[in-house]
Structure 1
């Protein structure tokens, strides 16, 4: 059996220092998503806007998350046109959701969209995410839903997705998965981490078949302000991200190539 080798690129020193750091951060995020077991083979996407540009980084189609490197990320415009000299393609259908969000939300520098079992399961429950854990408290104040319409490939659904998202930073896509966005890779990652854990806990509680104690509404109303104090006005992503970069390095430093 012949195993096809993945083409190796080396863009360090050939792009700006700012773009290179964005590439490193996003590649690390792909590796961390793979390590957490949140991936879906070569499907689903994480995208990142390069600061002060209208260009975006996304994974090459056909490259597994644990093969993503800073150099093999593909640079595209909002229409999904490839701007790099690269041997790789992207999945245009997969970038549709990301481009719609980047278009509507200039603050959404990073968008993470994944098909985890737990986010699909909770998104598809009639009542969605419930206030059953501290993790859910971080998502509920800024959570939206989008109904399933099949593959998100048409402009009409793009508009509905943008409308449903509004100014929220967490979204559960019914029958489909979860999505978070943020001003940095670390923020988007931490938001997905919290939402994923909230969904996991909810399903565990439901599987136990016991009566549960929901978080009182008075605490729900106050939790977002409390979280802002704890995280100095952020999701905590900036604080957590350096340690997550070190974790990615320990897993496999090749993401920085």
Structure 2
């Protein structure tokens, strides 16, 4: 692998739309919107987390943020295109990418072609839940919807070792949502829009759990197994990511974003 450091490759941000397909540009705009929405929701950890999306087409390419830009600086044009082996294909900013981001995202993109987008956060409540032995607890409608759908991956240090990819993929299995122990949250989907919906619900489930545990001595109510099973069945519609609920959810988010920010589309 090569070019995953901050070595400049090219500086031609203004011409990106002209040199990519219409399908790739559409994915770039959606991914840039996801970054801006995460900034709006304060899910960021300065410059240290990453969202990615597979580039449509036969090549094993994906898009990810340039290392050094804040989430609210990401645009469709300044996303970096990298191949599955870590070679930078197109880097309009010349900043390169976060190597740990490459390790995590390339693992999933290489193994799970059904997942087109992978979103990873280091939020306070997400990390707090990741550090709890019980993980995500079935104590809210939001968390119960993930019952049976959350994978867990043990902490191995900063994700700089390529061989961790095999274990990460093995832990993910056939799921699309994962809690990285002592690290954060990861949600993937059949589209950027689907991945974001899953991440938003997972983040809120973690917020609720930490709030419910805040008193330290209040006994939590766990719904009976038959209710959990019922909600699991009801939530299957959200797992596929292909229903109209994803479009409605995303369109509402874009309306919210564009009240103050339209620069992401540039």
Say which of 68, 79, 93 aligns to 2:85. Answer: 79
Flag as ranges the 4+ runs of structure 1 deviating above 6 A.
230-233
- Separation in structure 2 between the aligned mates of residue 143 and residue 176 of structure 1, nearest angstrom: 15
What's 1:171 paired with?
Answer: 178
In 2 relative to 1, CA 203–48 (structure 1 residues): closer, same or farther, beyond 3 Å?
same
Gaps of 5+ in 1: 1-5
Alpha-carbon distance, 1:230 to partner? 7.6
* 3-state DSSP of counterpart to 2:86: coil
- Is residue 167 of structure 2 the alignment partner of residue 160 of structure 1? yes
In 2 relative to 1, CA 217–240 (structure 1 residues): closer, same or farther, beyond 3 Å?
same
- Separation in structure 2 between the aligned mates of residue 69 and residue 109 of structure 1, nearest angstrom: 19
- Is residue 45 of structure 2 the alignment partner of residue 40 of structure 1? yes
Say which of 221, 229, 235 aligns to 1:221. Answer: 229
Say which of 111, 129, 140 aligns to 2:118. Answer: 111
Say which of 61, 69, 73 aligns to 1:67. Answer: 73
Deviations 1:205-241 (A, max 9, x none): 1113312211221121122321235898647323311
- Separation in structure 1 between the aligned mates of residue 77 and residue 65 of structure 2, nearest angstrom: 10
Say which of 227, 236, 246 aligns to 2:255. Answer: 246
What's 1:204 paired with?
Answer: 211
- Separation in structure 2 between the aligned mates of residue 177 and residue 33 of structure 1, nearest angstrom: 14
- Separation in structure 1 between the aligned mates of residue 18 and residue 147 of structure 2, nearest angstrom: 42
- Separation in structure 1 between the aligned mates of residue 226 and residue 49 of structure 2, nearest angstrom: 37
Alpha-carbon distance, 1:152 to partner? 1.4
Alpha-carbon distance, 1:13 to partner? 3.3
Gaps of 5+ in 2: 1-10
Please say if residues 23 and 73 of structure 1, whose CA atoms lie closer than 8 Å, have aligned partners that are also in contact.
yes
Let me know the Cα RMSD of the aligned residues: 2.0
Say which of 161, 174, 187 aligns to 1:180. Answer: 187
Deviations 1:132-167 (A, max 9, x none): 001102222210111110011223211111111001
TM-score when normalising by structure 1: 0.92
- Separation in structure 1 between the aligned mates of residue 74 and residue 174 of structure 2, nearest angstrom: 30
Matches within 5 A, 1:104-143: 104-143=111-150
What's 2:64 paired with?
Answer: 58
Deviates more, 1:64-73 or 1:153-162: 153-162
Please say if residues 188 and 237 of structure 1, whose CA atoms lie closer than 8 Å, have aligned partners that are also in contact.
no
Deviations 1:167-205 (A, max 9, x none): 111111111000010000111111111111111111111
- Separation in structure 1 between the aligned mates of residue 131 and residue 176 of structure 2, nearest angstrom: 19
- Separation in structure 2 between the aligned mates of residue 131 and residue 200 of structure 1, nearest angstrom: 13
Please say if residues 25 and 245 of structure 1, whose CA atoms lie closer than 8 Å, have aligned partners that are also in contact.
no
- Separation in structure 1 between the aligned mates of residue 173 and residue 253 of structure 2, nearest angstrom: 29
